Each structure stands twice: as C-alpha cells, then as structure tokens.
Amino acid sequence: MSHRAVIPLTLALIGIQVGTIGAQSGGLSIKRTYTKPGDPLISLEMSSLIERLPPSGYHPVRVKIINDSTIDRTWNFSFVSSDSSFGERNRLRSNFSVICNATSVAGVDLIIPVVSVLNTRASKQLESILDVTVRPSAPLPQSSDRLTTEMAQEKSKIWPSVIYSEKIQTLNGNALDKATALHLYGAPSGGGGGWRSQAEFGGGFLAKSMPDDWRAYVGYDACLLTDLEWNELPAGARNALRKWNRLGGTLIIYTTNSGTNLNTLGFGGNAAGASVSDSGWGATLLKPLPGNGLLEAPEVVELVDSNAKKTGGPRVSDLRENFRSNWKLHDALGKKFSQIILVIIVLVVFGILVGPINLFVFAKAGKRHKLFISTPLISLGASVILLGLILLQDGFGGYGQRLILREVGPDNTTYISQEQIARTGVLLKTGFTTSEPGYLSPLTLGESRWARITERNGGGKGRYNIEITAGGLKATGDWFKSSSEHGHIFETIRPSRERISLIGNSGNPTVNSTFDFIIKKVFYRDPGGQLWTTSDVQQGRNTTMSPVEETEFTSWFNKLRERFGPRNRTRLDLSRDRLGYFYGFAPETDGIESLSSLDWQTTSTFITGQLSPETPSNP
C-alpha cells in the first residue's frame, strides 16, 4: 500500500537558494534536464544533504525543480528503504509529491523514512539501502537512483552512526576510517584484513546546506564540525541540531579560537567553558582544532565511541538488542498461554468426521453424492469452531503497556521517549495515525511464538509504509499483526509550556504545576544539593515541599528507573545529580496514540527538568 504527501512548496516559502542545491557527492543524486536547448527549461535536481544513511530514522534530501513551461506539473517520488541488498529483508515505503506551477521554480527538503536495520546477516557489515524512483507528469521520463550505506560491526558491537563536516572529512577522512577499523577489528581499514577490516568513520555534510528539521538527524549518534562551520549553519539547522543533541546526540565542536566557548556559540545559559553541565539526554563537547586541521584519529574514534556509550549506545543497537530480555514493561503483560490442546482436539475430531464417519455414515455406499454436501458442511463447522477458539483466546483488538520518559527542556520544548509493548488479538484494521509527528521504530523482542520481530527471524521480513502528515505519522503494513506481540519506541520533541515552577524563594520550596495530570511524587534537588519532596502535585495548586534524605530519593529513583529499557535508564542516570532539577512520576497520563483498537492498560510518565523560578503560566 502506498501513501502520498502532497507538498506544493516554492523556493520563496522555504528559503532555498535557486543557484545551488548543496549536494553531497556520496548520497542520492539525480540531475535531469527534460527539454532540448532553446525550449522552455524543465529540470530536476535531487540530492542527499548527508552522504550516508542512518541505520534508523530519516534521511534528508533536497529537491529543486524548474518549470518554464506553460502548464503546472507534478513530480512523484517513491522511496523504498531496506536493510539488505539480497534475500529476505525488511522494507519501508514512502511517497511524496512536489508540484511546480507553470513558469516557476519549486524547492523542498524531504525527510525520507529509513527502515530500522534489524536484519541479522552473517557479515561484518550491516546494510541500509534507499531506492528512489521519480515519476514526473507525462510525457516526461522517470529517473531512479540507489544509496547503499554499510555499517561496521564486530560481533554484537556496532559502530555509532556518525556525520562530520566537509572540512574535517577532507583532511581526516582516510585516517578516521583506518582508526575506526583498528578500533573495531584490530586491523586498519584496507590494511591486509580484506573485507573484514573495512570500516567508514561516518558520512560528510556541507554546513551551509543542512536541514532545519530535527528529525533529519534523529538516526545519527554523533556529529562533528568546526566552530566556523557551526556559525555557517542556517539558523534553523543550528536549532535542529541542538534539539537532536538534547534528545541524545553527541555534538563535538572543534574550535579554532581559544576564546570560543558554548556561550559565544549561542548555547546560552550556564554553558560557559568547554562542556555543558546540562545537555539533556546528549553530550556537548568543545575540542581545540590543531592549526593544520589534522586530528589525532585514534583519539577522535575513542571520543565518539565513549560518548555514544555514555548517552545510551548506538541507537540501532538499542533497537536490536536491549529489549530482548529483562524489559520490565514486557514482563508486566504476564505470560500468554496457548490453548493448543483444544485446537488439536478440534483437528482430530474434524479428521474423524471428514474421513471415516463422512464416508461410511453420512455418504455411505450408494449415496456418495452426499459427499459434495457433507464435506463442505463439516469443513465450515470446523472453521467456525477454530475461529471461536481464537476469539475466545485472543479476542478482538488487544492490550498493552506504555511508559514515557519526559524531559522539560529550554525554550518551551519537551523531549519525549515512549516505550510500548502490545499483545494483539484479532485485528480488523492494522493501520493507524500517530497523534503527533516524530520518530517511530519497531523493537526486537525475545524469542517466543507470539513475537513477530526477533533476532532469529532478522526483523520478521516486515513490510512497512509511512506517510508523513502535519499531524502525525500515517502508518500501514506490519507495524501490528493479529495474535502477536509488538514493541515500539516513539520519540518526539513537542512545543509545550507545561512545567513545574518554584514559587517564592524563602523557606521550604513551594512548587506549582501546569501539567494536566496529577504527579504522584516529586523530588527536587536545589542549587545547594539539598533534596526536597512532596506528593500529589496537581495542576494550578501550590504545594510546599519537605526535606528528604538521599537514601529515600535513591530508592524511589532506582525502582522506577528499572522499568525502562537500557537507553532510557542511561538518560535518567545523566540527570540524576543535576542541581536545580526536579524528578516526578505520574502513574496515569496520556500517551502518544497509535492503533485505536488497543486498550492501553497503563500509561505512566517519569518527568524531569529544570525547576523554573518564574511564576507559572497556563500551558
């Protein structure tokens, strides 16, 4: 099934310069002139803005169309993302349309959904592949291209997905590739180890052409660039990278001036010096750039690897490995038992009825013509009984659990990571539209007869479709199947004025919440390190806190922390000792919606963030 997002944008609307497309040489690239010299020009340019695919998330491409003809024309873009170049694979389809009016120029940045690489090939390289077919209005011919990205792995260790700027790549690319291979395999890339020792450090980008949507970066683990290139970024791209950084990305900026710090780079707040005390779920680092621009490649590789681990490890490793066992949310569903003995009894009785009894009783000798009536009736009866057993065991729809980690960030934004597990019955409809835009991925679960995505089946040969809409993700395909267990992760960055505020500045702290749900328990670590707590914080009501010992907070924090998957546990660890931070848990909240026929038995939220000293405003 295909979906199409119609995007009638002009260059004036999105501010893309007409003169250049800002392409990356290693990514997707289609340049097509459809008309002869002297005729009204009709042309297409489509290029990747980052030369390598992420192992999950989105890939940004830029499209520029010139239509000097006298009629409006439409270009349809069909993308297929897969995680293997041969054999059975997981696939994700998406479609977009760009309309270019007569005698005009149109341009748009598209973020293309990329399938999560869950395939378990017997290889040292994982693959992510993106195919595109462009179909303009008739009679113009179609075009196509393919981008393949290989990701290095050694046993279960996968190299983080890294992007780095043109200046760093030009001077250091080969050395970083060799250092990456040496780090993973003990042999430099191309250094006598054959295919086994091949590895690429990351994919390049042009700073001035970077996209302004945080989703374009969500599948990457680390970004490296110089301070000069940071300042070259369009304002929207800087804002998007900072959001990606707080969502868990590692941002490493190499400085050309000793006086450069994160304040001078526009990070603001208390972010002076060579590091940021509060980067949300990510890490932000400043490192000096040598005068000749040549970095110590082994040190850079170690820096990227160590900081990726500190922020939860490579995103794709989280999807592939971290939910196969000891996931408390999954355990909360309880074990499911199959009534297989009843099915066997029905099949045995069916075999007896349709065989000897049918032949010697219902349609005995001389009445064999009755077989044409009795056999279909017996088969129909058995089918009805089996269907009844399935409905008795599984029912319609299904049920599940959701657990949300939510961080209140600066500039009226909130960062959300929702883990969910669902056990389905008979589904009459498997498509859904999420209640807001964001990043959605299936999870690899432990082996069971109900899990449809496991290590053994390499992601289940899933067939997925996504249409990106203004209000959410319209998803169809194998996101949910009947009589199955499915785990998903959904992450988003939401504009929000909801927060907890500190009222007054004397005596015991008094707080006021603008969240529309009751926060059962709240702890607060003040700027001096003292812990305070209160209970049942409701919207719009002032609540005074009482001092509490560290041991009580630690016990409460650790108990809730263990309910999350490893990546979100790491994110909680990053925030645990921050001064001026609050920590709250609400057992009953709303979640990001997906399949409407599922009954979410519990949706709970763990909230963290800076306690605002200002008087609260309405959300």
Q: Tens digit of pLDDT for each residue in 424-459?
A: 998 999 999 999 999 999 999 999 988 999 998 988
Is there a single domain that holds both residue 294 and residue 412?
A: no
Chain mean pLDDT for the chain: 88
Confidence of residue 349 (pLDDT cuts 50, 70, 90): confident
Confidence of residue 1 (pLDDT cuts 50, 70, 90): very low
Distance between CA 139 and CA 142 in Å, rounded?
9
> Does any domain span residue 261?
yes
Residues 6+ apart with CB under 8 A from 83: 89, 90, 115, 116, 117, 118, 119, 126, 127, 128, 129, 459
Q: Which two tokens stand for residue 487?
A: 């785990």
What is the sign of the dihedral through the CA atoms of 219, 225, 227 and 232? Answer: negative
**Residue reference for tokens 């994160």:** 262
Distance between CA 210 and CA 237 in Å, rounded?
6
Helix (H, G, I), strand (E, B) or coil at 373: helix
Angle at 196 between CA 190 and CA 201, to 5 degrees: 60
> Does any domain span residue 175?
no
Q: Select from 322, 232, 245 the least CA-distant residue to 282.
A: 245
Distance between CA 169 and CA 407 in Å, rounded?
34
Whole-structure pTM value: 0.88
CA distances (Å), origin 60, targets 51, 77, 106, 200, 217: 10, 13, 17, 20, 8
Confidence of residue 617 (pLDDT cuts 50, 70, 90): very low
Tell me what pLDDT residue 13 has. 34
Tell me what pLDDT residue 337 has. 62
Domain end marker among 372, 394, 416: 394
> Does any domain span residue 460?
no
β 5-7/57-67 pair status: unpaired
Q: What is the pLDDT of residues 70-121, one digit of tens each?
A: 999 999 999 999 998 676 789 999 999 999 999 999 999 999 999 999 987 6
Question: Are 417 and 568 spatial neighbours (Cβ–Cβ below 8 Å)?
Answer: yes
Identify the domain containing residue 114 by its residue range. 5-150
Residue 176: pLDDT over 50:
yes
Tell me what pLDDT residue 338 has. 63
CA–chain centroid gap for 32, Å, is: 32
The full DSSP string for 81-100 is: EES-SSSS--EEEEEEEEEE
Distance between CA 29 and CA 45 in Å, rounded?
7
Question: Are 504 and 613 spatial neighbours (Cβ–Cβ below 8 Å)?
Answer: no
Is there a single domain that holds both residue 607 and residue 505?
A: yes
Tell me what pLDDT residue 17 has. 35
Maximal CA-CA distance, the chain: 104
Angle at 456 between CA 59 and CA 334, to 5 degrees: 95
CB neighbours of residue 337 within 10 Å? 7
Tell me what pLDDT residue 196 has. 52
Tell me what pLDDT residue 122 has. 53
Instruction: Name which of 45-54, 110-119, 470-479, 501-510 the model is least confident about.
Output: 501-510
> How far does the chain reach from its first CA to its final CA, in angstroms?
39
Q: What is the pLDDT of residues 244-286, one digit of tens each?
A: 999 999 999 999 998 898 888 988 654 333 334 578 999 999 9
Q: Per mean pLDDT, which of 143-157, 164-178, 339-353 is the most reliable? A: 164-178
Is there a single domain that holds both residue 232 and residue 370?
A: no
Distance between CA 125 and CA 115 in Å, rounded?
16
> Does any domain span residue 79?
yes
Is there a single domain that holds both residue 611 and residue 518?
A: yes
Task: Tell me whether the omega of the peptide bond preceding residue 139 falls within 30 degrees of 0, making it cis.
Answer: yes
Q: Per mean pLDDT, which of 127-141, 153-167, 176-190, 383-397 is the most reliable? A: 127-141
Please give the average per-residue pLDDT across 119-147, as a whole number. Answer: 88
Helix (H, G, I), strand (E, B) or coil at 354: helix
Is there a single domain that holds both residue 375 and residue 405?
A: no
Distance between CA 204 and CA 172 in Å, rounded?
11
Q: What is the pLDDT of residues 367-403, one digit of tens each?
A: 767 677 777 887 887 787 777 766 666 678 899 999 9
Distance between CA 99 and CA 103 in Å, rounded?
12
Confidence of residue 365 (pLDDT cuts 50, 70, 90): confident
> Does any domain span residue 293?
yes
Is there a single domain that holds both residue 226 and residue 246?
A: yes
Q: What is the pLDDT of residues 297-306, one digit of tens each?
A: 999 999 999 9
Is there a single domain that holds both residue 406 and residue 543?
A: yes
Q: Any idea what the CATH number is for the domain that residue 121 is in?
A: 2.60.40.10
> Does any domain span residue 607?
yes
SS3 content of the chain, % helix, strand, coil (to 5): 25, 35, 40
Question: Are 220 and 163 spatial neighbours (Cβ–Cβ below 8 Å)?
Answer: yes
Q: Select from 45, 11, 16 the least CA-distant residue to 29.
A: 45
- By the 10 Å C-beta count (0-12 exposed, 13-18 middle, 19+ buried), 192 is classed as exposed
Is there a single domain that holds both residue 377 and residue 490?
A: no
Domain end marker among 150, 165, 181: 150
Is there a single domain that holds both residue 92 and residue 42?
A: yes
Question: Are 35 and 41 spatial neighbours (Cβ–Cβ below 8 Å)?
Answer: yes
Number of domains in the chain: 4
Of residues 155 and 95, the one with the higher pLDDT is: 95
Question: Are 119 and 84 spatial neighbours (Cβ–Cβ below 8 Å)?
Answer: yes
CB neighbours of residue 562 within 10 Å? 11
Confidence of residue 410 (pLDDT cuts 50, 70, 90): confident
> Does any domain span residue 370?
yes
Residue 360: pLDDT over 90:
no
Question: Are 73 and 136 spatial neighbours (Cβ–Cβ below 8 Å)?
Answer: yes
Instruction: Name which of 165-174, 391-400, 474-483, 500-509 the model is least confident about.
Output: 391-400
Question: Are 152 and 180 spatial neighbours (Cβ–Cβ below 8 Å)?
Answer: yes
> Does any domain span residue 159?
no
Is there a single domain that holds both residue 111 and residue 256?
A: no
Q: Which two tokens stand for residue 442?
A: 């299936």
Domain end marker among 321, 354, 380: 321
Is there a single domain that holds both residue 262 and residue 384?
A: no
Please give the average per-residue pLDDT across 339-365, as a whole number. Answer: 72
Tell me what pLDDT residue 380 has. 84
Is there a single domain that holds both residue 385 and residue 404?
A: no
